[in-house]
Amino acid sequence: MATNTTRVTGAQLASMVREEDLEDLEALLKDLEDKGHQAKDDGRLYMADQYIILIATVNAETHKLRARFKREAIASLRKETKLKKEEARANSATE
């Protein structure tokens, strides 16, 4: 009996990211920063270092996602504007 397993590529996975995921990552980043400061204040330097590593990773990913959503918003606006221009040209040509 064969099982049908589908593999998801990185590009496909990236296209599945939603704005809620970005919000969750930003909340996670805030939580990690708070825990990192608390660990530092408590003198738990090893854990503070671990939180710093995690913060750097999550921070980089949130920046990538935020930039991607902004690029997609601009691309959508450009596409809609182009369609409106084409529509206006078609309407003016038929009149």
- What are the tens digits of pLDDT across the range 71-93? 999 999 999 999 999 999 988 88
Does residue 8 register a pLDDT over 70?
Answer: no
pLDDT score at 3? 61
Enumerate residues 6+ apart whose C-beta is below 8 A from 39. Answer: 45, 47, 48, 51
Tell me how far apart the terminal alpha carbons of the chain are, to the nearest angstrom: 64
